[in-house]
Amino acid sequence: MDDDGQRGRPLPSGESSGRYGRRMSDANEAETLARVAALAASVTTADEPYWAAVDVASAASDALVTSLIACDLYHLWMGLTDWYELKPDDRPAAVAAMQRAASDWAAVKDNRVDRTAYFKSWSQELGRLDLFEAGQSLYRDALRRRAAKND
C-alpha cells in the first residue's frame, strides 16, 4: 500500500511513491520509451523473437513504478509472450504478432494519440485469443497429471 493507504493508485507526475523513493515523471517516461524502443527493434531481427519479446516485457516491468506507459507496454508484451507459451500450436502466429507489434511500435512510439490507438488495437486482438482459458486449461491438466502420478 502507498503511504496514503491506497493500493494500485497511479501517481501523478512528480509525486513520490514514498516507500521506494521513486517518482513518476516525464523523464522516466522518456527513458522507458527509449529503452523499450531499442528492445522492441531487436524483436524484428532476433534469431529467437520470443526471448527478445521477454526482454521488452521485462523492461516494461522494471518501469511499472515510475512510468505510466509501462503498464500498457507490460500488458501488451506479456500478452504476446503468453500467447507463445500457452498456445504452442500458434507459436508461428505469436512470433509474427510480436514482430508486427515491434515494427508498429517504431511508428507510434513518439505520438501519444497513436500509442493509445496502438494499445487499444493490440488489447482487442489479444483479448480475442482467450489466453486466460488457455492458461487455466494448462493448469488443470497439470493438476490432473499430478493427481494421477500420486495415485
In the chain, what are the domain boundaries? 26-150
Report residue 17 as a C-alpha cell.
Answer: 511513491
pLDDT digits (tens), the chain, 151 positions: 444 444 444 444 444 444 445 555 556 778 888 888 899 999 999 999 999 999 999 999 888 887 788 889 999 999 999 999 989 999 999 999 999 999 999 999 999 999 999 999 999 998 888 887 777 777 787 788 888 888 7
Residue 93: how many other CB atoms lie within 10 Å: 13
Name residue 16's beta-bridge partners. 23
CA-closest candidate to residue 97, choices 137, 144, 70, 131: 131
CA-closest candidate to residue 87, choices 55, 52, 130, 43: 130
Q: What is the pTM of this model?
A: 0.73
